[in-house]
A = this chain, B = another copy of it.
Amino acid sequence: MSHTTREKQQLLARVRRIRGQVDAIERALDTEAGCEKVMHLLASTRAAMSGLMCEVIEGHVRTHLVDEERYPGALNHDGAEELLAVVRTYLK
Protein backbone atom coordinates (compact mmCIF):
# COMPACT_ATOMS: atom_id res chain seq x y z
CA MET A 1 0.00 0.00 0.00
CA SER A 2 2.38 2.72 1.10
CA HIS A 3 5.24 3.00 -1.26
CA THR A 4 8.01 4.11 1.01
CA THR A 5 8.59 3.96 4.75
CA ARG A 6 8.14 7.71 4.99
CA GLU A 7 4.79 7.60 3.21
CA LYS A 8 3.67 4.78 5.49
CA GLN A 9 4.50 6.82 8.57
CA GLN A 10 2.58 9.81 7.20
CA LEU A 11 -0.50 7.73 6.45
CA LEU A 12 -0.37 6.13 9.91
CA ALA A 13 -0.08 9.57 11.53
CA ARG A 14 -3.15 10.71 9.60
CA VAL A 15 -5.27 7.73 10.59
CA ARG A 16 -4.26 8.14 14.24
CA ARG A 17 -5.36 11.76 14.16
CA ILE A 18 -8.68 10.60 12.75
CA ARG A 19 -9.04 8.12 15.62
CA GLY A 20 -8.47 11.00 18.03
CA GLN A 21 -11.28 12.90 16.30
CA VAL A 22 -13.59 9.89 16.56
CA ASP A 23 -12.77 9.68 20.29
CA ALA A 24 -13.74 13.34 20.62
CA ILE A 25 -17.10 12.59 18.96
CA GLU A 26 -17.67 9.76 21.44
CA ARG A 27 -16.86 12.04 24.38
CA ALA A 28 -19.16 14.74 23.04
CA LEU A 29 -22.02 12.24 22.75
CA ASP A 30 -21.28 10.71 26.14
CA THR A 31 -21.20 14.05 27.95
CA GLU A 32 -24.29 15.23 26.07
CA ALA A 33 -22.63 18.15 24.33
CA GLY A 34 -24.85 20.21 22.04
CA CYS A 35 -25.86 19.08 18.55
CA GLU A 36 -23.88 21.94 17.08
CA LYS A 37 -20.64 20.68 18.63
CA VAL A 38 -21.28 17.10 17.53
CA MET A 39 -22.12 18.20 13.97
CA HIS A 40 -18.91 20.26 13.78
CA LEU A 41 -16.78 17.37 15.04
CA LEU A 42 -18.41 15.03 12.51
CA ALA A 43 -17.85 17.48 9.67
CA SER A 44 -14.15 17.94 10.49
CA THR A 45 -13.59 14.19 10.92
CA ARG A 46 -15.20 13.55 7.56
CA ALA A 47 -12.92 16.19 5.98
CA ALA A 48 -9.89 14.45 7.52
CA MET A 49 -11.05 11.11 6.12
CA SER A 50 -11.49 12.64 2.67
CA GLY A 51 -7.96 14.00 2.94
CA LEU A 52 -6.63 10.53 3.78
CA MET A 53 -8.61 9.01 0.90
CA CYS A 54 -7.10 11.60 -1.47
CA GLU A 55 -3.61 10.70 -0.31
CA VAL A 56 -4.25 6.98 -0.80
CA ILE A 57 -5.74 7.57 -4.27
CA GLU A 58 -2.76 9.74 -5.23
CA GLY A 59 -0.34 7.00 -4.23
CA HIS A 60 -2.41 4.47 -6.15
CA VAL A 61 -2.51 6.55 -9.34
CA ARG A 62 1.18 7.41 -9.22
CA THR A 63 2.40 3.91 -8.36
CA HIS A 64 -0.05 1.21 -9.35
CA LEU A 65 -1.50 2.19 -12.69
CA VAL A 66 1.76 1.54 -14.49
CA ASP A 67 4.58 -0.80 -13.50
CA GLU A 68 7.39 1.73 -13.81
CA GLU A 69 10.08 -0.95 -13.86
CA ARG A 70 8.60 -2.72 -16.87
CA TYR A 71 7.26 0.37 -18.62
CA PRO A 72 9.43 3.32 -17.56
CA GLY A 73 7.90 6.64 -18.56
CA ALA A 74 4.60 5.14 -19.69
CA LEU A 75 2.42 7.00 -17.18
CA ASN A 76 1.27 10.33 -18.60
CA HIS A 77 1.96 12.54 -15.62
CA ASP A 78 -0.10 15.49 -16.88
CA GLY A 79 -3.09 13.21 -17.40
CA ALA A 80 -2.64 11.74 -13.91
CA GLU A 81 -2.46 15.19 -12.33
CA GLU A 82 -5.64 16.32 -14.15
CA LEU A 83 -7.42 13.26 -12.81
CA LEU A 84 -6.22 13.87 -9.27
CA ALA A 85 -7.27 17.52 -9.41
CA VAL A 86 -10.82 16.41 -10.25
CA VAL A 87 -10.85 13.72 -7.56
CA ARG A 88 -9.71 16.27 -4.97
CA THR A 89 -12.53 18.65 -5.97
CA TYR A 90 -15.13 15.92 -5.54
CA LEU A 91 -13.78 14.57 -2.27
CA LYS A 92 -13.91 17.90 -0.48
Count of identical protomers in the assembly? 4
**CB contact under 8 A between A76 and B64, given known A12-B29, A32-B8:** yes
Q: Are B32 and A1 in contact (CB under 8 A)?
A: yes
Number of interface residues of A (CB under 8 A): 58
Q: Are A15 and B19 in contact (CB under 8 A)?
A: no
**CB contact under 8 A between A65 and B57, given known A12-B26, A32-B8, A46-B49:** no
Which A residues have a C-beta under 8 Å from some C-beta of B?
A: 1-2, 8, 11-12, 15-16, 18-19, 22-23, 25-26, 28-30, 32-40, 42-43, 45-46, 49-50, 52-53, 56-57, 59-61, 64-67, 70-71, 73-76, 79-80, 82-83, 86-87, 89-92
